[in-house]
């Protein structure tokens, strides 16, 4: 055994997680597994994909022995070194707290034996192996509905003897007055005592557990170990191990706490809530830790942020149907991991000190007894009175603390009320303003609508008169078209007839003049030819007569004669050519006249077509105009009806419901 009193640097508040495999109920409900231990220290909640870290995670296949070896054995070693230690089991009902802490109490080394029987057994084994002088005493305390009960002496409670909790001024932690502490000589005796006490634990039935522990249960082991120091007086090393099986952390509805058990569940939750608050305050290093708000936290004060080595074992189901509780348990235990305790080994005490302590205690008890016999008004010793006074002071402090918080809450409430009133007034004025604005907007809208309707009526009136004038214009155009058409055709026909006449006349004239010219030319030609013949004859005669003379006439005369003949011949040819040209010109003019006539005819036919098309177009325009006329009349009617209806309904109907189409501001182009 180690005899040194060491301050450790390991985490002072450890946190473990133990998973329970699915039970019959969860299997029959086919509730899927939602937790996955990733490695030895992390566990994944698959539904939220959140990872929780612990000092060690035990999956559903882990054994009680595994848990003991890894969690409890190191703690037991430290108990033997003089450290006070505490192990909590925390979890929803039915998750395996009692199984983990107690398990099977019947047999020493069964597979299902939990932490307590293994601790008892191993403690004695270790003490024996150490060959030291020792003593071990145990106590078993139940906290039910905020009442402490001694399970090793249940009659105490029945006889109305109260168990009190004191804080020891000398620094040895919390003192629980009025409980039985049984010395046990060996493991078997310890197990017997435990089994006997456990029988009295408050058990009920819940939906989650047939044998549900309805209370918090604290099993404490106190060991005194004698240590020999060479040349000095022997000393005793005293240490305490608390093994706490908390009640289920379930919510009332889900646990199905029935038949008056709702109060019980409420109480359980109350003390667990306080435990949670204490943990939060410790984690946040708050100046005030609300230990005094529940007996559970008062009892375990030293294990929470005190000098004790503490660990929490979170027991969880792995089935999805318990998701809510699994999450809250993991959160709770995870948070507790951040508590910082200041473990200190207890100072060894020697026989004399111990005897003196015991003598003081005997004295105190004697004094209490005496005071109680004498019934002199104060049935207790001064020391007990002082303790009660101190308790009262604590209570007063707590009351003051609560009063302060209440005052602050009241102050906050008043402040909030003032603000609320301010906000309400503001809201009222805003509503009033809004109402006024809405009314104004309605009136404006109504006016605008009426104006719009009037504008519309004006517009349609003008539109109608415009249509009428268009109508008239179109009629005039139509008539003009008709007249034009008649006129044009007649003109063209006259023109054509006169042209034809002209042509005929011209043709005739041309023919006549041509014939005359031809006749003249032919006559002229004949005359000239006759003259020429005569001339020729004369010449021949003359020639013949003057043959002789001719031979004598110079060559030049002969040439001149021949030239004259040639000139006369050429002139004749020219005349013929001229006549031919005149003929060609006449036929060209004739052709031109014919093509002009043809062109005119085509033009007239084209114009006739156009006029016909124009007439059709006019007819269409006329029918459209009459259609528009009808439409405008019917729209005018609708508008008038609407205007009347609007006038009546505008006050009642919201703006958006008025189905008036947008007004085209642009006039249609004529």
Ligand X SMILES: Nc1ncnc2c1ncn2[C@@H]1O[C@H](COP(=O)(O)OP(=O)(O)OP(=O)(O)O)[C@@H](O)[C@H]1O
472 is in an annotated binding site: no
Least CB distance to ligand X at residue 142 (A): 12
**For ligand X, which is the closer residue by CB, 204 or 305?**
204
Please tell me whether residue 171 adopts helix, strand or coil conformation. Answer: coil
> Is the CB of residue 177 less than 8 Å from the CB of residue 150?
no
> Is the CB of residue 184 less than 8 Å from the CB of residue 219?
no
Four-residue CA torsion sign, 73, 78, 79, 84: negative
Least CB distance to ligand X at residue 315 (A): 6
**For ligand X, which is the closer residue by CB, 276 or 306?**
276
> Is the CB of residue 223 less than 8 Å from the CB of residue 136?
yes
Four-residue CA torsion sign, 343, 80, 176, 120: positive
Least CB distance to ligand X at residue 144 (A): 13
**For ligand X, which is the closer residue by CB, 98 or 294?**
98
> Is the CB of residue 281 less than 8 Å from the CB of residue 288?
yes
Any bridge partners for residue 33, and if so which? 319
Least CB distance to ligand X at residue 97 (A): 4
Least CB distance to ligand X at residue 416 (A): 40
CA distance 304 to 280: 11
What is the total residue count of the chain?
Answer: 670
**For ligand X, which is the closer residue by CB, 254 or 600?**
254
Least CB distance to ligand X at residue 32 (A): 19
- Cβ neighbours, 10 Å, residue 105: 18
> Is the CB of residue 364 less than 8 Å from the CB of residue 384?
yes
**For ligand X, which is the closer residue by CB, 19 or 300?**
19
310 is in an annotated binding site: no
Q: What are the tokens at 122?
A: 């191993």
96 is in an annotated binding site: yes
Q: What's the DSSP call for residue 292?
A: G
249 is in an annotated binding site: no
306 is in an annotated binding site: no
The distance in angstroms from the start CA to the end CA of the chain is 119
**For ligand X, which is the closer residue by CB, 255 or 642?**
255
- Cβ neighbours, 10 Å, residue 387: 20
Cβ within 8 Å of residue 139, ≥6 positions away: 150, 152, 176, 179, 180, 181, 182, 218, 219, 220, 222
> Is the CB of residue 242 less than 8 Å from the CB of residue 300?
yes
Least CB distance to ligand X at residue 245 (A): 7
**For ligand X, which is the closer residue by CB, 85 or 272?**
272
Instruction: Give the ranges where 345-381 is alpha helix by DSSP (H).
Output: 351-374
Least CB distance to ligand X at residue 329 (A): 10
Least CB distance to ligand X at residue 94 (A): 5
> Is the CB of residue 288 less than 8 Å from the CB of residue 405?
no
CA distance 623 to 626: 5
> Is the CB of residue 668 less than 8 Å from the CB of residue 656?
no
Of 176, 190, 177, give the one whose Cα is nearest residue 135.
190
CA distance 165 to 163: 7
By DSSP bridging, strand 174-177 and strand 203-204 are unpaired
Least CB distance to ligand X at residue 338 (A): 24
Least CB distance to ligand X at residue 23 (A): 6
Q: What's the DSSP call for residue 34?
A: -
**For ligand X, which is the closer residue by CB, 41 or 60?**
60
> Is the CB of residue 245 less than 8 Å from the CB of residue 101?
yes
Helix, strand, coil percentages, rounded to 5, for the chain? 60, 15, 25
By DSSP bridging, strand 203-204 and strand 134-144 are unpaired
**For ligand X, which is the closer residue by CB, 111 or 408?**
111
The number of CA neighbours under 13 Å toward the Cβ of 447 is: 5
The whole-angstrom distance between residue 243's C-alpha and the CA centroid of its chain comes to 47
328 is in an annotated binding site: no
204 is in an annotated binding site: no
Read off φ and ψ for residue 314, nearest 5 degrees: -90, 120
Burial of 221 (0-12, 13-18, 19+ CB in 10 A): buried
Least CB distance to ligand X at residue 168 (A): 31
Looking at beta carbons, which residue is closest to ligand X?
96
95 is in an annotated binding site: yes
**For ligand X, which is the closer residue by CB, 69 or 497?**
69
**For ligand X, which is the closer residue by CB, 207 or 226?**
207
Residues that bind ligand X (CB under 6 A): 20, 23, 91, 93-99, 209, 211-213, 247-248, 315
Least CB distance to ligand X at residue 133 (A): 37
**For ligand X, which is the closer residue by CB, 315 or 384?**
315
Torsion of CA 570, 572, 573, 579, to 10 degrees: 140
**Angle of the 323-336 helix axis to the 261-283 helix axis, nearest 10:** 40
Least CB distance to ligand X at residue 392 (A): 35
By DSSP bridging, strand 212-213 and strand 235-245 are unpaired
Q: Summarize the annotated binding site for ATP as residue ranges.
A: 91-98
Task: List residues forming the annotated binding site.
Answer: 91-98
């Amino acid at each position: 055994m180690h005899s040194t009193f060491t301050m450790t640097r390991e985490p002072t508040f450890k946190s473990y997680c133990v998973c329970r495999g699915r039970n019959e109920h969860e299997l029959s409900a086919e509730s899927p597994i939602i937790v996955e231990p990733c490695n030895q220290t992390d566990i994944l909640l698959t539904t939220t994909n959140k990872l929780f870290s612990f000092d060690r995670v035990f999956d559903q296949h882990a054994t009680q022995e595994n848990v003991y070896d890894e969690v409890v054995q190191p703690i037991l070693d430290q108990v033997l070194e003089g450290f006070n230690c505490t192990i909590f089991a925390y979890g929803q009902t039915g998750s395996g707290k009692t199984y983990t802490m107690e398990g099977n109490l019947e047999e020493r080394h069964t597979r299902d034996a939990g932490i307590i029987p293994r601790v008892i057994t191993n403690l004695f084994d270790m003490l024996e192996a150490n060959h030291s002088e020792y003593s071990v005493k145990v106590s078993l305390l139940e906290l039910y509905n905020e009442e402490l009960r001694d399970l090793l002496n249940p009659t105490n409670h029945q006889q109305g003897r109260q168990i009190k909790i004191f804080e020891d001024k000398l620094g040895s932690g919390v003192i629980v007055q009025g409980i039985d502490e049984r010395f046990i000589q060996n493991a078997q005796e310890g197990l017997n005592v435990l089994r006997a006490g456990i029988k009295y634990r408050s058990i009920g039935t819940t939906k989650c557990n047939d044998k549900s522990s309805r209370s918090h249960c604290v099993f404490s082991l106190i060991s005194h170990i004698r240590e020999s120091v060479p040349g000095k007086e022997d000393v005793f090393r005293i240490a305490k191990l608390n093994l706490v099986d908390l009640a289920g952390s379930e919510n009332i509805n889900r646990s199905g706490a029935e038949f008056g058990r709702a109060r019980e569940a409420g109480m359980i939750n109350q003390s667990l809530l306080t435990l949670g608050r204490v943990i939060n305050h410790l984690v946040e290093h708050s100046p005030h830790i609300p230990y005094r708000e529940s007996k559970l936290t008062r009892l375990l004060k030293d294990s929470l942020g005190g000098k004790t080595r503490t660990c929490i074992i979170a027991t969880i189901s792995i089935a999805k149907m318990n998701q809510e509780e699994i999450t809250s348990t993991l959160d709770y235990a995870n948070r507790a991991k951040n508590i910082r305790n200041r473990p200190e080994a207890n100072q060894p005490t020697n026989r004399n000190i111990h005897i003196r302590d015991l003598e003081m205690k005997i004295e105190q008890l004697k004094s209490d007894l005496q005071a109680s016999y004498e019934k002199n008004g104060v049935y207790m010793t001064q020391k007990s009175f002082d303790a009660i006074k101190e308790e009262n002071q604590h209570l007063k402090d707590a009351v003051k603390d609560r009063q302060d918080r209440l005052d602050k809450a009241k102050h906050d409430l008043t402040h909030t009320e003032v603000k609320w009133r301010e906000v309400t007034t503001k809201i009222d004025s805003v509503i009033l303003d809004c109402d006024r604005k809405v009314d104004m907007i309605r009136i404006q809208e109504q006016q605008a609508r009426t104006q719009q309707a009037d504008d519309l009526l004006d517009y349609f009136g003008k539109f109608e008169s415009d249509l009428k004038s268009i109508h008239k214009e179109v009629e005039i155009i139509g008539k003009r078209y008709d007249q034009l058409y008649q006129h044009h055709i007649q003109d063209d026909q006259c023109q054509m007839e006169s042209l034809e006449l002209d042509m005929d006349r011209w043709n005739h004239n041309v023919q006549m003049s041509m014939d005359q010219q031809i006749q003249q030319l032919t006559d002229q030609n004949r005359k000239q030819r006759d003259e020429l013949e005569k001339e020729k004859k004369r010449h021949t005669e003359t020639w013949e007569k003057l043959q002789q003379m001719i031979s004598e006439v110079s060559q030049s005369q002969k040439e001149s004669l021949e030239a004259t003949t040639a000139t006369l011949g050429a002139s004749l040819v020219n005349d013929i050519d001229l006549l031919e040209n005149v003929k060609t010109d006449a036929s060209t003019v004739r052709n031109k006249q014919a093509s002009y006539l043809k062109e005119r005819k085509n033009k007239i036919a084209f114009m006739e077509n156009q006029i016909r098309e124009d007439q059709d177009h006019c007819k269409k325009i006329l029918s459209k105009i009459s259609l528009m006329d009808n439409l405008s009349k019917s729209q005018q009617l609708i508008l008038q009806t609407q205007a009347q209806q609007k006038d009546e309904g505008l006050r009642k109907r919201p703006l958006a419901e008025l189905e008036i189409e947008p007004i085209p501001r642009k006039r249609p182009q004529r």
